[in-house]
């Protein structure tokens, strides 16, 4: 199958796809903020300039558009025109992403990747992770003095 649009138009479409990253990122930010967690955004002093940064928990979050970061899901299929070009580009992005995560690990940070196509599951996983790492807002001292953060850990056996 050949592409129905010319190269310039295709580039413009891809650029528009790229900006969608931002709105997905906003969904994550809103959800995290609503859950009571505070964060910084786009800290350039950290590898990969993570989209959200939780300094106290040393946790960096990347919100990835499936196409640009080559998720491998159906949203990340390259266009049929210039297929080789896109595959190479996506491969490079994927390698760079992994390198940044390795660099974060090397300096003692954790990294969480949230994919555009799994946004809700990704947010839930991030909130769990933040709760486990310990945050005042999710740890309640019960009347018997027990620390209870079970609400965020889901159905753990009592
Ligand atoms: Zn995906």
**Ligand 1 mean position, distance from CA 22 (Å):** 15
pLDDT over threshold 80, residue 126 = yes
The sign of the CA dihedral 27, 94, 99, 17 is negative
Alpha-carbon distance of 48 to 108, in angstroms, equals 15
pLDDT over threshold 70, residue 153 = no
Over range 116-136, report the average pLDDT. Answer: 88
Q: What is the CA radius of gyration of the chain?
A: 19
**Ligand 1 mean position, distance from CA 59 (Å):** 22
DSSP structure string for 56-110: TTTEEEEEE-TTTTT--SGGGPPPSTTHHHHHHHHHHHHHHHHHHHHHHHHTT-E
Give the per-residue pLDDT at 149. 46
**Ligand 1 mean position, distance from CA 128 (Å):** 21
**Ligand 1 mean position, distance from CA 141 (Å):** 39
Pick 3 or 23 by higher pLDDT.
23
CATH homologous superfamily for 7-119? VSR Endonuclease (3.40.960.10)
């Amino acid at each position: 199958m050949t592409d129905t649009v010319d190269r310039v138009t295709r580039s413009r479409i891809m650029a528009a796809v790229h900006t969608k990253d931002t709105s997905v990122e906003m969904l994550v930010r809103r959800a995290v903020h609503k859950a009571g967690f505070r964060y910084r955004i786009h800290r350039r002093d950290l590898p990969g300039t993570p989209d959200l940064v939780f300094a106290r928990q040393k946790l960096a979050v990347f919100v990835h558009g499936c196409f640009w970061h080559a998720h491998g899901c159906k949203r990340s299929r390259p266009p049929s025109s210039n297929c080789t070009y896109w595959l190479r580009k996506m491969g490079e992005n994927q390698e760079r992403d992994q390198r940044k995560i390795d660099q974060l690990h090397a300096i003692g940070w954790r990294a969480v990747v949230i994919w555009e196509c799994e946004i809700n599951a990704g947010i839930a996983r991030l909130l769990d992770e933040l709760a486990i790492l310990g945050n005042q807002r999710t740890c309640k001292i019960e009347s018997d003095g027990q620390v209870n953060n079970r609400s965020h850990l889901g159905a753990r056996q009592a």
